[in-house]
Structure 1
């Protein structure tokens, strides 16, 4: 957090203490939400309030599928299967017992998982989108590391290296991107928020504009909530340009 001037007006020590408990809180909240996945009436009445689902369905009306971008804020992993309550969904994941979780918590959902590295992520995304499905992927970090498929952008008063994959997929497929967040609001309740769709770039030159639009949402959501609930603080050093330059 000390690396970002954009947080100089915040109590960084307070948010650092909050972040210290983020891992256990993430596990607890995700498990709690999963307990209700088979009881959709209770899930969406008493546990999760959904804000802006029209943005998802308006994006889907293009007929080219939707690229969903869940942000690493709050119990973010629990947000992904909730997409499948709206539309058939395929998700790209890194480390997750996907088949076991699906069988235990939401066996009847049209929800597929593609493990990162098992096949081409771009090809898998295009296949899902051509079928009119949601293709879900986290936008902030490629766990395989920073490479030529990254771009340097401004963020919180500094610059970072971020993946271009979601924007490239949007350009190639013509599918809009819909960022979403899942946050605790207190008393065992959560808010699932769909943001307005970001249109697909129509040329390679417009990709950067679309990438900046995605990260504008990430920055605004981060500043509007608990700064200490962004999982990417674990990886932030890897996102800084000087580290990437040394490693490459």
Structure 2
């Protein structure tokens, strides 16, 4: 997965990037050194990778809408005692209050994925703030989680302005160091496909991005957790990530 560079549009200045990386192989850390946005992530203290000297993994899920898989995902996480952060949109908040409550009650974090899932680099400063505030306030009303410290820009599209505004609002932007094309519900290929794509990228300090709409992910999750643990990995919540590496 490599970054796509996009020029600024709609009159909002600043180079725009679509997050990408050099994938991990053979346990080596993923890298963004060649992607063009390394300095931006450093400047705004964004997360994409943890401490590469420790075999710790951080599970993150993007929940744009519900596709019937989140209950199984939560069941597995609860059974395995693994924490996660779920990045939700406004649609998810409106339609799935019970699942949001369950996430919080079972020790997970809810993060901000914007209200309407726009390309945030193309909207005004005020609109960015509104997109984020609406999610935070709606989640708080449903779950009582009044603090929301983590966000993930929709589609991984960002520029300096998006990171700066969100940082000023108190957010840490969370990207990822493990991902694969899992969001297309018409291209589900079975649990082994998901398992193989995640396991071959495992590396210390990895931030794993999975989409909850994927049936493959839901079916593979328990085996991924078990086999990662067999390799000596542990799972922690993203707020326990204290070292941010930029490989």
TM above 0.5, yes or no, is no
Query: More strand by proportion, 1 or 2?
Result: 1
Query: More helix by proportion, 1 or 2?
Result: 1
After TM superposition, the score normalised by the length of structure 2 is: 0.30
